[in-house]
Homo-oligomer: A and B are copies of this chain.
Amino acid sequence: MSQTQPLPAKADRSPDLDEVDVLTVLQALSDPVRLEIVRQLAGCERDDGLMCHQIRLSVAKSTASHHLKTLTQAGITVEREVGTSKYLTLRSAELEKRFPGLLDSVLRAAR
């Protein structure tokens, strides 16, 4: 007899970072809205990231969605859907392993 299990989080579409080159990451970071998203995520103390609606941006929702998607596709963030909520997390540790010092130096410069 099967037991009741919590619904698994949906799989994200963020790539394996070994397959991402530095140009893709630089392109993704070189936009003011995307850099602001990364900055807010980096300042988030929760391990499970921010719910997307908690990110404060001065652009239309559709524009924000486009930028969130770009960051995820570049391997910088990961999105998880848990129930009806969408959580966004920075892949800090993985990025540090793949491109040592890059994210930290960008965040320091963006403060």
**Interfacial residues, chain A to chain B (CB-CB below 8 A):** 22-23, 25-27, 29-32, 35, 98-102, 104-106, 108-110
> Are A32 and B23 neighbours in the complex by a CB distance under 8 Å?
yes
Given the interface contacts A104-B101, A105-B100, A105-B105, does A30 sit within 8 Å of B23 by beta carbon?
yes
One of B30, B102, B108 near A109 (C-beta < 8 A): B102
Docked complex Cα distance between A72 and B27 (Å): 19
Give Cα A29 to B102, complex, Å: 13
A98 CA to B105 CA, complexed, in Å: 10
Residues of B within 8 A of A23 (CB): 30-32, 35
The CA of A65 and the CA of B108, in the complex, are separated in Å by: 31
